[in-house]
Each structure stands twice: as C-alpha cells, then as structure tokens.
Amino acid sequence: MQAEGVLYLLPVWLGEAGGIELLPPANIAIAERVKLFFCENERTARRMLRRMSKAIDLDAIELHLLNKDSTAADIAEFGILLGTRDAAIISEAGMPCIADPGARLVAEAHRRNVRVVPLTGPSSLLLALAASGLNGQQFTFHGYLPRESTQRKQQVKKLEQEAQRTGGAQLFIETPYRNDALLADLLAACAGNTRLCVAIDLEQPGGSVITRTVAAWRKGAPALGKRPCVFILGAEG
C-alpha cells in the first residue's frame, strides 16, 4: 500500500553564484510547501532554503541530519516520518543521493512504499560528462579514490586500463584540498595518449571543462586549488 507522504530529491546550486533563475519554479514551490527536510549540514540547508525563497519560514520547518555518521536506527526513525507527510532531501551541492548519503534514506523510502520524486536540477557529474567529449554511452562513477599516493596511482592505472579496454568513461571526484595531489598522480601514472577531462567550478564564474591527452596536460598542468572538480579518464582518442 502506497504511503501518504512523498519524498522529494531537491537539488541546490553547485556553488555560491546564481539565483533562482537556475532552479525550476516547480522546485521552489515544493521547497515553500514542504516542512520536513533531511540534510548533511543544518546551516548549509537553511542557507540554501533562504536562497530559494524568502517566503520559507525557517522557524517552522523540521530539519534532520542525514550524513555519513547516521546509523541504521537513525534511518529507520526517519523512515517512520516519511510515511506521514511530504519531505525533501537537500544535498550540500547539486543533486541529492549521487555521491551523497541521502541514498540510504531513499532505500528506506522504497522499503516503506513511500513515493520518491527526483526533481530537475544540476548534477556536476552529468554536466562534466556531457561537456567532456568522452563516452556518454558507457561510463562508471567511482566516487573518491584512495588517499595514499601509491594506492591512488594503482587505482588510477586500473581505471585507465578499464577505459582502454571498454571505451567507457571513468568518473571520480576528490576532496578539494587534495585536487592538486590527485592531478599530479594522474599525470604521473597514466599513459600520454589517455584522455583526461578536468571539470572545475561548474556553473560558477571562472568554471571550465577541459579535455586533453595526459601528454598535453603535462606541458601545462593548472593549479586547481580548493575548488570542486570532477575528473574523467577516457580511452585514447
């Protein structure tokens, strides 16, 4: 039997730039109506909701933390709330539940026959892939690579081999303060003819999506700094 409440996946901006023109009006209307939210960080969520609409009464909403430390008991408790009224998951950036702990609550919603409705909005992974020129027909997202350099290079070689073997694009991300270390390991571990896309600060001023061979990147690797990046390895062009 279908539960009464609906769980919306409510996308937010990928960065600080941009206004409500970047989000569909239907999303704003849902954000104004829903009173139950799940988020990774309460401060960020409140800032995002205020950015969406001044009509949202932040004192009248109910916020629950849903992050990597949420226990199975937490998820079960949240699931009980889902069946009673409409709710929404908000990510720290972009689309909820992709590289995001919200997926656990969505799984619980399905177990409880709660309808899940994904809303249109930015996803850095798909934006990067679409603009990369790499294989949008076959791709795999690997999340975060190992932190330690030796292990990370080994994983990079495996992804490179998979890209060459299948032709599929291999996507991954990194904590921003490790961007430059990851790029250095990519350029050290990969063959010169492997294609590498670096998508940085998508939908933000100064953002870019650039795909070059590893050999070309070695001639002039940029300093990425602590900005959100998506990395994609592709087969030889």
Indicate the domain borders of the chain.
6-118, 124-234
Q: What is the mean pLDDT of the chain?
A: 94
Residue of 3, 7, 9 lying closest to 84 (CA atoms): 3
Beta bridge pairs of residue 65: 39
**What pTM value is reported for the model?**
0.91
Percent of the chain with pLDDT over 70: 98
Question: What pLDDT score was predicted for residue 1?
Answer: 58
* pLDDT over 80 (residue 163): yes
**Token pair belonging to 181:** 């270390």
Instruction: Return d(Cα 122, Cα 81) in angstroms, integer.
Output: 27
CATH topology of domain 6-118: Cobalt-precorrin-4 Transmethylase; domain 1 (3.40.1010)
Q: How confident is the model at residue 84 (pLDDT cuts 50, 70, 90)?
A: confident
CATH topology of domain 124-234: 3.30.950
User: Are the folds of 6-118 and 124-234 the same?
Assistant: no
* pLDDT over 70 (residue 220): yes
State the first-to-last Cα distance of the chain, in angstroms, to the nearest integer: 51
* pLDDT over 70 (residue 137): yes
Helix axes 72-82, 103-111, angle to 10 degrees: 60
* pLDDT over 70 (residue 2): no
